[in-house]
Amino acid sequence: MTVVFAMLLDAVLGEPKWLWDRVPHPAVLMGQGISWLETRLNTGKDRRAKGILLIVLLVAAALVAGAVLSAFGPLVEIVIGAILIAQRSLADHVSDVARALRLSLGDGRIMVARIVGRDVKTLDQSGVARGAIESAAENLSDGVIAPVFWFALLGLPGLLAYKIINTADSMVGYKNDRYEEFGWASARLDDLVNWPAARLTAILIALVHLRPNAMGVAQRDAGLHRSPNAGWPEAAMASVLGISLSGPRSYDGTLRDEPYVNPEGRHSAGPDDIDASVTVLWKAWGLTLAFVALWGVIA
């Protein structure tokens, strides 16, 4: 039941600012370790091989750290698990966008810029809302369901290994001159470890809304997405909310003409749709909690 208590603790406390203003967040420590290794390995020739070495070292360190920390007992596992499961902070950040957008478009753009990587200066109300909802769907998968999945399956070592892979991908998994070769292994491994959770998230979204057609939309449209995994929860979320997601967006001033998922849905969206997506987040979280608790009883 360790995972259940970790999920509940995260839901109650989230990420207390007073704490992380005083001590470094584990994700920050992971990022510092990755940055330290990257500056030493990402040089010269054979960068793909060096990138493989990077992720092997990181995963090995995470597994060892998880095993050592687990020896201190379930209370330590619960606290670390709660820190690395991001349900409450995700729901809060997405809700902040809805509140800001109700004040003004400018406020909405400022707030959504904190959770999306696209250019926000030219976004209209629908663009801001869709950005927040897409972030909600994608981060439900890789910030909540995936950590819970690996925590339940492999304990604290599995959770830490997943988080270090996910963090490495966010730092070096880019297709540019500096990282395309070096970050290849981190990006591919991140795709692999997120594969189960992305599909599970789509199933959860469909189940909590009693909309089996949402899975059909996810199966049909997920492959249109630029990510091999994010299309699943985004398409399911789009279906249950009756809107279109993804589509054209701008990064660093360059427009990318990407296809919509659930293109038959509304292209207009607003704060109420963002609020509805947060409701989906909590319903999916609740169903996940029930499944994990049942697993704990059976196991």
For 69-86, write each residue's pLDDT tens digit: 999 999 999 999 999 999
Given this model, what pLDDT does residue 295 score?
86
CA dist 27 and 30 (Å) reads 5
- Class of residue 188 by CB neighbours under 10 A (exposed 0-12, middle 13-18, buried 19+): middle
Return the amino acid letter for 65: A
Provide the pLDDT for residue 86.
94
Task: Tell me the angle at which helices 47-70 and 26-41 cross, rounded to the nearest 10 degrees.
Answer: 150
Residue 268, SS3 per DSSP:
coil
Contact between 30 and 106 under an 8 Å Cβ cutoff? The reply is no
Q: What is the pLDDT of residue 177?
A: 82
What is the share, in percent, of the chain residues with pLDDT greater than 70?
100
Q: What is the pLDDT of residues 239-260, one digit of tens each?
A: 999 999 998 888 877 788 889 9
Smallest CA-to-CA distance from 265 within 292, 289, 248, 240 is with 240
For the chain, the structural domain boundaries read: 2-298
Structure tokens at 11: 């839901």
Nearest to 246 by CA among 264, 224, 268: 224
Predicted pLDDT at 257 = 85
pLDDT of residue 79: 94
What does the pLDDT look like over 22-59, one tens digit per residue? 878 888 999 999 999 999 999 988 999 999 999 999 99
CA distance 96 to 271: 10
